[in-house]
């Protein structure tokens, strides 16, 4: 995965605060605070909070579950008649989200049990609460240096333009159309007989700030004629919708 916007922030849910100057009498400060008398100058001891990304052994990490969620959202919105698990409970209801993905179109799609009497194609591939996933996503890891930028005076750790993350997607006995479905969820397309990587949105501020959240994916381990034929097989069978995410 390559970051093609200026920044990418996928939060770890943690933030750090730095101590800016030594505190000479901690006991006194704590005492005061416990009595409800928090001195004004206490803020001067600490930096603004900074929202971090995940790290492991010095590398920056995007959880596999985040990548899987991205793929699943795209497939649920793209495939007519599939169920609609991710975004129906999500909070992605910004006007930008609506204009890109047109989820109201999705809601009006009649679920046709004739099409999928047992399980919809997305659940069949990626699992649901009662069904194991047939695809596993590793974490995506980068050794490129991150930076910190401020948005409304709050720091965010970001991967920068050109940063590359790599990860593995492990699957088990997929049909050709299902393999194509997986590629499609990563934004891989075929145009004039060639493989193309579409921009996908990921992480914080993707709908609010053009400098954030644009990534593309490329495939390492499958040869391009197999990629092309599987995507074509998927499109022929499922007639997916497409989205232009690069707003
Ligand atoms: Zn489903």
Tokens linked to 197? 């990587």
Interval between CA 118 and ligand 1 midpoint (Å): 10
Domain membership of residue 246 (yes or no) is: no
Residue 176 reports pLDDT greater than 80: yes
At residue 191 the predicted structure's pLDDT band, cuts being 50, 70 and 90, is: very high
In a domain, 196, yes or no: yes
pLDDT digits (tens, 9 = 90+) for 211-223: 999 999 999 878 8
Q: Has residue 24 been placed in a domain?
A: no
Q: Which domain holds residue 10?
A: 2-17+40-238
Strands 169-171 and 188-191: unpaired
- The number of distinct structural domains making up the chain is 1
Ligand 1 centroid distance, CA of 109 (Å): 14
Question: CA-to-CA distance for 216 and 197, rounded, in angstroms?
Answer: 6
184 CA from centroid of ligand 1 (Å): 17
Q: Around Cβ 34, how many Cβ atoms within 10 Å?
A: 9
pLDDT for the residue 108: 47
* Residue 25 domain flag: no
b/e per residue 222-242 (b: at least 16 CB within 10 A): eeeeebbebbebbbebbebee
Instruction: Say if residue 118's pLDDT is above 80.
Output: no
Find the 174 Cα to ligand 1 centroid distance in Å: 17
Q: Please, what is the average pLDDT of the chain?
A: 88
pLDDT tens-digit profile of 149-161? Answer: 999 888 999 999 9
Say how far apart CA 139 and CA 62 lie, in whole Å: 6
Confidence grade of residue 50 (pLDDT, cut at 50, 70, 90): confident
Distance 80 CA to ligand 1 centre (A): 11
Domain contains 192: yes
Give yes or no for residue 48 having a pLDDT over 80. Answer: no
User: Does residue 138 sit within a domain?
Assistant: yes
**Average pLDDT of the residues in 195-207:** 95
Give me the pLDDT at residue 92, please: 57
CA dist., res. 89 & res. 134, Å (int): 23
Distance 241 CA to ligand 1 centre (A): 16
Question: Is 243 part of any domain?
Answer: no
Residue 146 belongs to some domain of the structure: yes
Mean pLDDT for the stretch of residues 190-213: 95
For residue 1, how far is its CA from the centre of ligand 1 (angstroms)? 26
């Amino acid at each position: 995965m390559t970051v093609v916007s200026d920044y990418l922030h996928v939060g770890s849910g943690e933030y750090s605060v730095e101590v800016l100057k030594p505190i000479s009498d901690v006991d006194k400060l704590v005492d005061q605070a416990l009595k409800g008398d928090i001195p004004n100058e206490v803020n001067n001891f600490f930096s603004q909070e900074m929202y971090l990304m995940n790290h492991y052994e010095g590398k920056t990490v995007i959880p596999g579950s985040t990548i899987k969620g991205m793929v699943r959202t795209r497939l649920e919105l793209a495939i007519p008649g599939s169920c609609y698990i991710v975004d129906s409970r999500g909070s992605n209801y910004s006007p930008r989200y609506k204009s890109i993905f047109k989820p109201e179109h999705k809601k009006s799609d009649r679920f046709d049990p004739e099409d999928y009497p047992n399980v919809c194609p997305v659940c069949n591939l990626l699992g649901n609460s009662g069904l194991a996933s047939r695809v596993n996503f590793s974490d995506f890891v980068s050794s490129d240096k991150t930076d910190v930028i401020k948005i409304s005076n709050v720091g965010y750790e970001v991967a920068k333009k050109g940063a590359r993350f790599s990860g593995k997607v492990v699957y088990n006995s997929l049909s050709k159309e299902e393999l194509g479905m997986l590629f499609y969820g990563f934004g891989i397309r075929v145009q004039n007989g060639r493989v193309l990587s579409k921009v996908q949105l990921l992480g914080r501020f993707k709908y609010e700030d053009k400098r954030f959240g644009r990534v593309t994916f490329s495939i390492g381990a499958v040869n391009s004629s197999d990629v092309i034929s599987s995507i074509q097989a998927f499109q022929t069978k499922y007639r997916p919708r497409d989205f232009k995410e690069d707003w």
